[in-house]
Structure 1
């Protein structure tokens, strides 16, 4: 059953029609001083952050996405993390994305648990790169 984006909590896993095909996405929220904006972070493939109208109808996916990231092989802890890459930091697990923000291409990070958007979390010295298994293979679903 489709629901309006504004009625879904940030961090929800949804399915959205993007470029003519249904793609799994993470619903993300940017909290400004006097405003909130909603965005979709597609997970197949990851790497972009797209604004979404609060009235847009999205398909909530059943259950809860259980991410099983594994440490990336052959990489040292710390930057750089490529766009679309996931990493673990002291304040959570993040997905590095690219977006059009105020007319420029900008990097943003989306918290995989809460859907919160933050700037440049990938520059912390104590981050560990992670590899996310593409959703078409090993992503597992848990019923709520």
Structure 2
């Protein structure tokens, strides 16, 4: 009987995944620093890494963690993720990126967007947790 239950559960899981009905099992499991994972999605040059580090230099450890948390949920750290009119690691509107879809510009514009709208990445994270978007 338990084999049937396991098979039924697996079938329902596959069916749910096919229709996007499953929840994000890893929603609360996120490493504090996801640099390796983030860069695996898009290979960045040493120059880009240096520029991104400079862009994020003013963020505290807590702000960087909140930024990574959002990046994971929005795109699984992918700089090339697409969803309708949203693009990139932080799923910004394409118009907000002004045609420059580079990783460096995404980092810069995401910081600008969050600063203007929420004041900080931790506030943006709190909003995301309440609304599942930011």
TM-score of the alignment, normalized to the shorter chain, above 0.5 = no
More strand per residue = 1
Which structure would you say has the larger RCO, counting Cα contacts within 8 Å and 6 or more residues apart? 1
- Could you tell me the TM-score, scaled by structure 2's length? 0.22
Whose radius of gyration is greater, 1 or 2? 2
- Could you tell me the TM-score, scaled by structure 1's length? 0.21
